[in-house]
Amino acid sequence: MKQEISTSFSTYQKIIMLSLAFIQFAIILDFMIIAPIGDILMKTLSISTEQFGLVVSSYAFSAAISGIAVAGFVDKYDRKRVLLVFFTGFIIGTLLCGLSTTYVEILASRIITGIFAGVTSSAIFTIIADLFAPQLRGRAMSGVQMGFAVSQILGVPLGIFISNKFGWNSSFIFIVVLSVLMLIGIVFLFEPINAHLQKQSDKNPFLHLWHTVNKKQYQTGFLAIMFLAVGGFILMPFSTVFLVNNVHISYDNLPIVFLCTGLSSLVVMPIVGKLSDKFDRYRLFVFGSCAAAIMVTIYTHLSVSPLWLVIAINMLLFAAIMSRMSPVMALNTMVPKQEDRGAYMSISSSLQQIAGGAGSIIAGMIVFQPTTSSPLQHFDILGYVVIGIFAMCIYLVHRMYLNIQKNAA
């Protein structure tokens, strides 16, 4: 009972949170590194832009499919065992990427990596929900999500440096070495996480999956997470094109923009996590959404601007978006019952992958560029679409919030 009312982390919880943050770092780095080494990869393996696009998208879609495929099974096993199995698969897939010498090999390797990465990521958030009381989850979620910021600040630049020095394959080998060390940490530092096994009602995994998908309260959570993912990622694919061709930021200055944005996240995420545990999470989300809507409007209407202004706007935009993400992710862990968490989080993670891919397709249908050097057109319209998605997300998260309150009562 004492653990339930505690507002501070135990030593074991700190170890778990740090370990999960490192695992998240490896997964995100593996996903992000493919873009900056894309030019080297295409030239080395003699693959076209269409083939490279398939290499990138195959990872996301395989992660989505695997998450749904295993959703009915993950609640039947110890969370630690699930994490060990799928993180091991992720390491093997990444190793195969590093050993690839042809287009077919790298495509197959990315599919294998995606299959295991998707379930590993959902297992991380399931473990957070199991081991951290609701009043601690905002900070726990923010702590784990800092793996994204660290991968942007340190991981990607280091990966590019290693690729330039030793070849593109070496960046994947670098991730494998780090991941093996983390795998050893899971084996020796994590205790069994199996309290949910005592509450299992569905013996058949497929029946368990069906019951999870068929619950209306869960469906509201799924929709909210999908709209959250679309709104958060729809601008990303064309941000670099917009900054270079519309705002006239040089390629040499782009790393500075993203570095400053990543550094700001190291400050913003812990603050948002503490606020998420201290204040009403739905109200914090609404505030973040309104702030993000304002910043999206400013960002998508930028013209030629000085570097310092672009950096400041990017930092504020990212801070506002993170103020949306962290509270909702913490709320999302409170939607499912303990015995359904593995299935729910697997499906939720898969839907995020699908929504992110759908967001890129939607963005590609709205914006266009007459020539490779001309300004990006209709980026302002894309901003208005994002604001509309924000509004829909506020409605869906409100319904999620009411369901959580109802269940608590």
pLDDT in tens, the chain (409 residues): 344 455 677 888 888 888 888 888 888 888 777 766 766 777 788 877 667 767 777 887 888 888 777 777 777 788 888 899 999 999 999 999 999 988 899 999 999 998 898 888 878 878 887 888 777 777 777 777 776 667 666 666 666 677 777 778 888 898 899 999 999 999 998 888 877 777 655 566 777 777 777 888 888 888 888 888 877 677 776 777 788 888 888 877 777 787 787 777 777 777 877 787 787 888 988 998 999 999 999 999 988 889 999 999 988 888 888 778 878 888 888 888 877 777 787 788 778 777 876 776 777 788 877 876 778 888 899 899 999 999 999 999 999 888 888 876 6
DSSP string, 345-357: HHHHHHHHHHHHH
pLDDT at residue 392, rounded to an integer: 93
pLDDT at residue 155, rounded to an integer: 64
CATH of the domain at 402: 1.20.1250.20
DSSP string, 237-262: GGHHHHHHHTS---TTTHHHHHHHHH
Which pair of tokens denotes residue 258? 């993203």
Rounded CA gap, 265 and 116, in Å? 27
pLDDT at residue 184, rounded to an integer: 93
Rounded CA gap, 180 and 176, in Å? 6
pLDDT at residue 204, rounded to an integer: 67
pLDDT at residue 2, rounded to an integer: 41
Q: Give how many domains the chain has, as a whole number.
A: 1
Domain of residue 205 covers: 2-408
158 burial level (CB within 10 Å; 0-12, 13-18, 19+)? middle
* 376 DSSP assignment: P
pLDDT at residue 36, rounded to an integer: 63
The percent of the chain in helix, strand and coil, each rounded to the nearest 5, is: 80, 0, 20
pLDDT at residue 356, rounded to an integer: 72
**Which residues contact residue 189 at a Cβ distance below 8 angstroms, ignoring those fewer than 6 apart?**
15, 16, 19
pLDDT at residue 394, rounded to an integer: 93
pLDDT at residue 350, rounded to an integer: 78
Provide the strand spans (E) within 199-346: none
**Which residues contact residue 64 at a Cβ distance below 8 angstroms, ignoring those fewer than 6 apart?**
118, 350, 351, 353, 354, 357
Burial 294-325 (b: 16+ CB within 10 A, else e): ebbeebbebeebeeeebbebbbbbbbbbbbbb
pLDDT at residue 3, rounded to an integer: 41
3-class secondary structure, 287: helix
Contact status, residue 299 vs residue 317, Cβ threshold 8 Å: yes
* 398 DSSP assignment: H
Rounded CA gap, 42 and 48, in Å? 7
**Which residues contact residue 208 at a Cβ distance below 8 angstroms, ignoring those fewer than 6 apart?**
72, 75, 76, 202, 340, 343
Which pair of tokens denotes residue 312? 């400041």
